[in-house]
Chain A
Amino acid sequence: MRVLTFARQFGEVVLAIAIAPLFAGWIAQCRAWLQNRSAPPLTQTYRMLRKLFHKDAALAVDASPLFRTAPYVLFGTMVLAAAIIPSLATDLPFARAADAIALIGLFATARVFMSLAAMDIGTSFGTLGARREMMIGFLAEPALLMVLFNAFLLYGSTALPSLVDGYASHPSVIDPSVIFAAVAFVMVLLAENARVPIDNPATHLELTMIHEAMLLEYSARHLALIEWASSLKLFNYACIGFALFLPWGIAIHGADGASALLIAVTALIVKLALAGAALALIESVSAKLRIFRAPEFLAMAFLLAVLGLLVHLLLGVSTHA
């Protein structure tokens, strides 16, 4: 039984690593369709990674070991996060070890390393990107915490798997606070993953870029790892969203045989396809905000999440007996 649990955990992590670039590629494809461009193939992100892994890495003369280790740290934290988030099943040995608040800490660790690495070389672009990233991060984190508190209040637990289990045992409950939390979560997701209203993932030229500015100095395998880690981050955020708001199909504790896992994989892929299309739609209809509007955007996300808490306290249905 123990072996089986670890096998499940291993399978989930491998699946996350494997299909995260596919998810990013799917969003890019949907965006291209919506903007009347001919879309790149779904395998484009994999080809990109392959090309980058085959190149020779060029390092700046002044690069410290920090600069070289940061991509590995980044990738490692994202893989660990993927292990904690119950994307397929809730009975995961890693997930029991860390709750959702530790998960936010994990994302923060990745952010700190990325920013330090960006400042390490000493180019103005890197520093600029790092400062902006920290600004976005410190505004997005409390909003994300508030969103999570909504779910915690609803099910009386801070661990993501127990939230999913809690939902499974009360499937008929529709809590009004969920709307607020979901809207706030989408806003945080857009901000944290450098999507359109805050940052444009497809630009290398503008002075307004945030994420891309930080990795201008990276090349070859380092760049590949960072790109892979950012697609994993997006995948992780999507899976957190599914665990909080759409936990249908995830194999719950005690009922996770082979067929349940098969259903979970299918459900995950369907949800990812829909979420990717929705994200592409949001990105296509909204214009990029000026950087000084970003605090306003994130303050709104925070306020919505707080409002969700208030609404829950006023007219919520309490489920944790």
Chain B
Amino acid sequence: MLKSHLAAQLLNLLAAGLLLISFAMLSRRRTQRLITLFAWQGSILFLSTCLVAYDASLTELYYSAALTLIMKVITLPWILHRLMRRLGAQWDSEPLVNIPATMLVGLVLVIFAFGLAEPISMLATTITRHTIGIALAVILLSFLMMITRRKAVTVVIGFLAMENGLFFAATSATYGMPMVIELGIALDLLVAVFILGIFFFQIHEQFDSLDLHHLETLRED
């Protein structure tokens, strides 16, 4: 239970900011902007985790907030930026995305997520239970981004954003997962980004672009 009403309001505000950034991600064509937005999302996550940690006086959550700061605000964006530079893809953008239609689908997804989370949040007892709906919406929106985008890097950013949504659900609704699990997830993410980075190089070498639709055609050789 959050002690102060003000903290609950601030957490709601941060949750809304998270959703706003998810929509901004959906609407951006430039890959580099997406990485910046991902870093912003991470910093909002850091703030919200700190807030929950302070309010529920859980020292453990401070560690996971620090982990978030190091991983999602500094390391992962840095790795992605570096990858983009190495691949010479800084100015990549995706021309074939119908953004208003995507945003409309996103809006429907948000309504769906809010509806879906309603019975779940009835069961919860914390003041911040309504943020479950927002976390679910963030997850679904990242999923939508992974489906609609064609560049490999943007798909990976969608994947990472999805993890952000899950993490937010965990901290805001249940005050975080056990430290072991969190450390494991953080390591998994780091490893995943490394492996996917190797994939980027392979895809780039094979097709001279990071466009994933090259992978859809079967070749007989």
Q: What's the minimum C-beta distance from A307 to chain B, rounded to whole angstroms?
A: 6
A314 CB contact (under 8 Å) in B17, B23, B27, B130: B130
B35 on the interface (CB 8 Å rule)?
no
B133 CB contact (under 8 Å) in A173, A177, A314: A314
Most buried by B among A173, A176, A183: A176
A315 on the interface (CB 8 Å rule)?
yes
Q: A60-68, A234-242, A274-282, A292-300: which lies at the B interface?
A: A292-300
| A180 vs B20: C-alpha distance when bound (angstroms) | 7
Chain A residues touching B, range? 20 to 34
A176 CB contact (under 8 Å) in B16, B99, B100, B111: B16
A116 on the interface (CB 8 Å rule)?
no
Classify the secondary structure of A's interface with B.
helix
Nearest-CB residue, chain B, relative to A315? B130
B10 with A174: CB separation less than 8 A:
yes
B13 on the interface (CB 8 Å rule)?
yes
B20 with A303: CB separation less than 8 A:
no
B114 on the interface (CB 8 Å rule)?
yes
Contacts of B123 in A (CB 8 A): none
B103 on the interface (CB 8 Å rule)?
yes
A225 on the interface (CB 8 Å rule)?
no
B45 on the interface (CB 8 Å rule)?
no
B12 CB contact (under 8 Å) in A300, A313, A315: A315
A179 with B20: CB separation less than 8 A:
yes
B157 on the interface (CB 8 Å rule)?
no
Write the residues of chain A forming the contact surface with B, with a CB cutoff of 8 angstroms: 172-174, 176-177, 179-180, 183, 295-296, 299-300, 303-304, 306-307, 310-311, 313-315, 317
Contacts of A177 in B (CB 8 A): 16
Given contacts A300-B103, A307-B20, A314-B134, 15 further A-B contacts (CB under 8 A): A179-B20, A180-B20, A183-B20, A299-B103, A303-B23, A303-B103, A304-B20, A304-B23, A307-B110, A313-B114, A314-B114, A314-B130, A315-B12, A315-B16, A315-B131
Given contacts A172-B6, A296-B99, A310-B110, contact A180 B27 (CB under 8 A): no
Contacts of B99 in A (CB 8 A): 296, 300
A180 with B9: CB separation less than 8 A:
no
A306 with B131: CB separation less than 8 A:
no
| A304 vs B13: C-alpha distance when bound (angstroms) | 15
Given contacts A179-B17, A311-B16, A311-B19, contact A317 B110 (CB under 8 A): no
Classify the secondary structure of B's interface with A.
helix
B114 with A173: CB separation less than 8 A:
no
Contacts of A303 in B (CB 8 A): 23, 103-104, 106-107
B50 on the interface (CB 8 Å rule)?
no
| A259 vs B83: C-alpha distance when bound (angstroms) | 60
Q: What's the minimum C-beta distance from B156 to chain A, rounded to whole angstroms?
A: 24
| A18 vs B19: C-alpha distance when bound (angstroms) | 41
| A180 vs B17: C-alpha distance when bound (angstroms) | 8
Q: Top 7 nearest A-B pairs by Cβ distance?
A: A176-B16, A315-B130, A299-B100, A176-B12, A174-B9, A303-B103, A315-B12
A173 with B9: CB separation less than 8 A:
yes
Contacts of B20 in A (CB 8 A): 179-180, 183, 304, 307
- The proximity string for B residues 19-41 relative to A, scoring 1 for CB distances below 8 Å and 0 otherwise, is 11001000100000000000000
Q: What's the minimum C-beta distance from B136 to chain A, rounded to whole angstroms?
A: 11
A-B contact pairs, 27 of them (CB 8 A): A172-B6, A174-B10, A176-B13, A176-B16, A180-B16, A296-B99, A299-B103, A300-B99, A300-B100, A303-B103, A303-B104, A303-B106, A303-B107, A304-B20, A304-B23, A307-B20, A307-B23, A307-B110, A310-B110, A310-B114, A311-B19, A311-B134, A314-B133, A314-B134, A315-B131, A315-B134, A317-B9
| A177 vs B110: C-alpha distance when bound (angstroms) | 14
| A315 vs B27: C-alpha distance when bound (angstroms) | 24
A300 with B27: CB separation less than 8 A:
yes
